[in-house]
Structure 1
Amino acid sequence: MKKMILLTIICVLMLGSGCANKAQSGAGLGALAGATIGALTFKNKASGAAIGAGVGLLMGYIVGNEWDKYDEQKVAQSLESTKSGETVAWKNPDTGKSYTAVPSPAYMNQNKICRDVTITADGGEKIMAKACRGDDGVWRLNQ
């Protein structure tokens, strides 16, 4: 019974990671790895898996969140200083993935300066996003 519950959790984590951001994917993979290590090292397999999953979830989320911050910083820089239609490219040093961003002309939306941006990842995955500059001057993406 316990093995069936663990298998179900693993399947849900793997299926859910396809539509998750990097922090969520990192948390899912961390939980999976932690549960596996915990189950193999603790005498009580179920407790070990639960403890390992919790620690792995936290560590994976922290690492994944840092990757998100790096990429979001690069997009924000392109929104701030790139002419409309020009392409900005970068490579994330932690993930090794390459990205491009192509911002559109600025416009006003609810008294905020906004720009649309097309972000393309290594595998050709395209994300069309809207970003607005907050009162603090920081660009925030709204997919």
Structure 2
Amino acid sequence: MKNAKISASILIMLLLTSCTNMQVEDGKHGQVGSITGAIGGALVGQAIGRSTEATLIGAAVGTMLGYMIGNEMDKYDRARLNRALEYTPSGEPAAWTNPDTGNSYEVIPKPAWKDPEEEKVCREAEIIATIDGRTERTYTTACRDASGRWVLQN
């Protein structure tokens, strides 16, 4: 019974995160990050600790980390990321430092391709972010929305 409750909870959380690749309203990136972080943390906690306590601790830690990362990229950074995806040749880096936060980013886009299912133009990219002196590297996909802006998918 206990495992069924945990499995049901995880399934509900995964269903909720299926909405996280939508365009996020300004000021809400931390909230989306905290939801995604909580789910990821809960899954990691359950996989490592195999107990309710480990799941809860993982969810709490994931919530905090997801909020911090989601909140760090402000409007200026999102505009620069959009510009990099739009104009930077494949394999070439585009880098900037946010004058307000001091955070720095480097984006290396790959060639654009058309998503056959959704008929969208997409582009994968490597993003290297240095936030508060810590460097993180991530790989993501961005697709054009109806207005032509690049929207991160994962």
Q: TM-score range by the shorter chain?
A: 0.5 to 0.7
Normalising by structure 2, we get a TM-score of 0.53
CA–CA separation in structure 2 for the residues paired with 1:17 and 1:68: 18
Deviation readout 1:102-130 (Å, 9 max, x if unpaired): 00000001211100011101232011110
Residue 131 in structure 1 maps to residue 142 in structure 2: yes
Partner AA of 1:126 in structure 2: R
Query: What percent identity do the matched residue pairs reach?
Result: 38
Please report the RMSD computed on the Cα atoms of aligned residues, expressed in angstroms: 2.3
Task: Give the greater-gyration-radius structure (CA).
Answer: 1
Equivalent residue, structure 2, for 1:114: 122
Residue 18 in structure 1 maps to residue 65 in structure 2: yes
The 5 A counterparts of 1:1-143 are 15=61, 16-20=63-67, 21-23=69-71, 67-109=73-115, 110-122=118-130, 123-143=134-154
Deviation at residue 71 of structure 1 after TM alignment? 1.4
Q: Could you say what secondary structure the match of 2:79 adopts? A: helix
CA–CA separation in structure 2 for the residues paired with 1:71 and 1:98: 9
Paired positions, count: 91
Partner AA of 1:104 in structure 2: K
Partner AA of 1:76 in structure 2: N
Q: Could you say what secondary structure the match of 1:132 adopts? A: strand
CA–CA separation in structure 2 for the residues paired with 1:136 and 1:72: 15
CA–CA separation in structure 2 for the residues paired with 1:103 and 1:75: 10
CA–CA separation in structure 2 for the residues paired with 1:85 and 1:124: 20
* Structure in which a larger fraction of residues adopt helix: 1
Deviation at residue 101 of structure 1 after TM alignment? 0.2
Q: Could you say what secondary structure the match of 1:78 adopts? A: helix
What 5-or-longer segments of structure 1 have no aligned partner?
A: 1-10, 24-63
Deviation at residue 68 of structure 1 after TM alignment? 2.3
Deviation readout 1:20-75 (Å, 9 max, x if unpaired): 2343xxxxxxxxxxxxxxxxxxxxxxxxxxxxxxxxxxxxxxxx6xx422211111
Runs of 4+ that moved beyond 4 A: none
CA–CA separation in structure 2 for the residues paired with 1:126 and 1:77: 19
Partner AA of 1:88 in structure 2: A
